[in-house]
Amino acid sequence: MRILAVGAHPDDLEILCAGTLAKYAQRGDYVAMAISTNGEVGSSTLPKEEIARIREGEARASAAVIGAELHWLGYPDEFLYENEETRLRYIDLVREVRPDLIITHDPLHDYHPDHLTTGQLLWNIRIMTAVPNIETKHPPCQKIPDLYFMDTVAGVHFVPEEYVDITSTIDQKRQMLSAHKSQESWLMDLFHLSYVEFMEISSAFRGLQAGVRFAECFRRSVTFPTSSKKLLP
């Protein structure tokens, strides 16, 4: 299978679905990670250009842990909007990767506007990726990918439909999240929490619901057309 995971910011995918991506990679699936914004406001001390450069490097180091291909879209952090240009860019991203499955943010229940916009963009353009008269750099997809929404941060307002046991890949998830070194102090300053500890608590909570040590959870977009195949590992 070919998997495309799209997060709004560097580290979103690591917090919410990295254990699942690691399982795909372990079984030999192609995994691509795409980041909508450049994370340029994610520092209490560094200027925008510098922290954006640092965060791109951290995202690439994280993707390398599981051998994933990284797509850095580079939109301004906190100012991602849907318009014709962004629709075409996300259509072309999907056409370039040609995934069987897209994983992204819940477009209804998340706390952050960049998360909501990213999820809504992927929902909006899914069918457009196969339409020949919508022209982009890459040719149209031959099939419409399936779409899954990942958990929200801290699970707020998210009702899981499917769980993935990530107990065997929790170490890779820790390693991927730890690659985002610039955010440890930033999140401590802003939210007074430890980055990795927060992830472990969330993963253990979802694991408790699923009857395993650690888990991630998802909700499938069931809008037409959808595949009948089992898509989560």
Confidence band of 193 (pLDDT split at 50, 70, 90): confident
pLDDT in tens, 126-166: 999 999 999 999 999 999 999 999 999 989 999 999 999 99
Residue 85 Cα distances to 45, 82, 93, 106, 138, angstroms: 32, 8, 12, 22, 15
Mean pLDDT for the stretch of residues 195-207? 93
Model confidence, pTM: 0.95
Closest listed residue to residue 33, CA positions, set 68, 73, 77, 80: 68
Q: What's the start-to-end Cα distance of the chain, in Å?
A: 10
Question: For 2-220, CATH number?
Answer: 3.40.50.10320
Give Cα separations from 132 to 101, 140, 162 (angstroms).
20, 6, 33
Distance CA(147)–CA(143), nearest Å, equals 13
Q: Which residues contact 62 (CB under 8 A, 6 or more apart)?
A: 10, 11, 14, 18, 33, 176, 177, 179, 180
